[in-house]
Chain A
Amino acid sequence: MNTSSAFSTTVLEIDAGRVANEIEEGIREIVLRRLRRKGAIVGLSGGIDSSVTAALCARALGKDRVLGVLMPEDESSQDSLLLANLLADAIGISTVVENIGPTLEALGCYRHRDEAIRKVIPEYRTGWKSKIVLPNLVEGSYYQIFSVVAQSPDGEMRRARLTPDAYLGIVAATNFKQRTRKMLEYYHADRLWYAVAGTPNRLEYALGFFVKNGDGAADFKPIAHLYKTQVYDLGKFLGVPEEILRRPPTTDTYSLEQSQEEFYFSLPLDKMDLCLYGKNAGVSAAEVGAAIGLTAEQVKHVFASIDSKLKATVYLQSSPQLIEPVPEAREAGN
């Protein structure tokens, strides 16, 4: 019998029932007692993270104390709205639909984004679709420099590496989407005296896959400590509809279909989970690689990319910095 404690894909297995109970107790403690709010707002995207967050809030606080907010825009996938409604029906919560397209149009989100794309693809016009992508992490030790991929209305594809000002221009403009959504979540939270739930999983929270003061803003983040595969396990336990469990994680931010893998993580999320877990636990690159079918060299690239993302996340996670402490200003829980 092999008695070694070799690293394997089983390290992330959880007792979903026990974990759900712990999180639900935590939600009640935070929302009702620390924040003194009556319920929770959850922005529903039709994805697994917001679905699990909403289901946990409904179990913790009661389904009549959770409001799901659906916020499609001109470039959202049709699936997002369908799946979010499916989830709301399955767990019995109320929803409101806020179409943020006209707001984004008025803010210049699409116009500014298109102008930035034209810096590297001059023929890009309204009616084209686009997304930004990273090179695959394990293919080589390339620096992680984004490219934009664009598709003309007649299907012709263009790809161009982004210059710094084009990249920052695209990101700054598309961040309007997450920030507009958060503004609407707080509108409903204020009128109902609810708290806003953030929906990041551990990969997103630790590695900075969120927009500061956009989806990164929230009053509590009940699944931020869970790896993506654990969120799926919880989703199955909570009865999240099969269609949502099967949907590949998407950013639903760009007009061309774009996976989170090509946008940010550069690796399938179950493998990224194990790389982050292994790195956190001090497991060698060789051992992690053996468990997930990569070479030690490839896992070293992933570890280096994790370090670089952790560094970049410091700014995203930081609250407003003060010159001197203000001891009389109190935060919840202090």
Chain B
Amino acid sequence: MQQIEQEVRQFVVDNFVRTAGNGDFSNQDSFLETGLVDSMGIMNLVEFVREKFSIIIENEELVPENWDSVQQVAEFVRSKVGMATQREEG
């Protein structure tokens, strides 16, 4: 499993599984459908990702396509980090 997936998954387990689930979820499972992450949870997840990976997150990027599963969050982070790397190289 890749490192970003692991970090995001660990955050979800540490912060949400205790109150909303049993730890039995896949990296593709929808946070909304499983009820794992509520509106306060999304706020916490966004802040965690922002700090952990040092990326700037625009309001327009706060859509379920980027934040609704461990895999989506990891892909979003990779796309942001990739963009930053490209900018530095360019």
Contacts and interface: CB of A to CB of B under 8 A. Distances in A.
Interface stretch (A19-27, A55-63, A90-98, A161-169): A161-169
Contacts of A308: 38-39
Q: Which residue, A135, A143, A162, A311, has most C-beta atoms of chain B within 10 A?
A: A143
Given A141-B63, A142-B59, A143-B64, A312 B39 contact: yes
Given A164-B43, A164-B44, A164-B47, A143 B62 contact: yes
A145 interface: yes
B42 A143 contact: yes
B63 A161 contact: no
A155 interface: no
B38 A312 contact: yes
Contacts of B64: 141, 143
Nearest to A311: B38
Contacts of A147: 59
Given A311-B38, A312-B38, A143 B47 contact: no
A143 B40 CA distance: 10
Interface in B32-67: 32, 35, 38-40, 42-44, 46-47, 59-60, 62-64, 67
B21 to A, nearest CB: 14
Nearest to A165: B47
Looking at B38, B43, B44, B60, the one whose CB has the most chain A CB atoms below 10 A away is B43
A9 interface: no
Interface string B50-90: 00000000011011100100000000000000000000000
A27 B62 CA distance: 46
Nearest to B48: A164
A143 B44 contact: no
Contacts of A144: 39
A140 interface: yes
Contacts of A162: 43
Given A135-B59, A161-B59, A145 B38 contact: no
Given A163-B47, A164-B47, A142 B39 contact: no
Contacts of B63: 140-143
Nearest to B58: A161
Q: Which of B46, B62, B67 has the most CB of A within 10 A?
A: B62
B52 to A, nearest CB: 13
Contact of A145 (B32, B43, B60): B43
A304 B38 CA distance: 12
Contacts of A167: 43
Given A143-B62, A312-B38, 20 more contacts: A140-B60, A141-B63, A142-B59, A142-B60, A142-B62, A142-B63, A143-B39, A143-B46, A144-B39, A145-B39, A145-B42, A145-B43, A145-B46, A145-B62, A162-B43, A164-B43, A164-B44, A167-B43, A312-B39, A312-B40
5 contacts: A140-B60, A140-B63, A143-B63, A311-B35, A312-B39
Query: Which 7 A-B residue pairs are closest in the complex by CB-CB distance?
Result: A143-B62, A164-B43, A143-B42, A164-B44, A163-B47, A142-B62, A141-B63
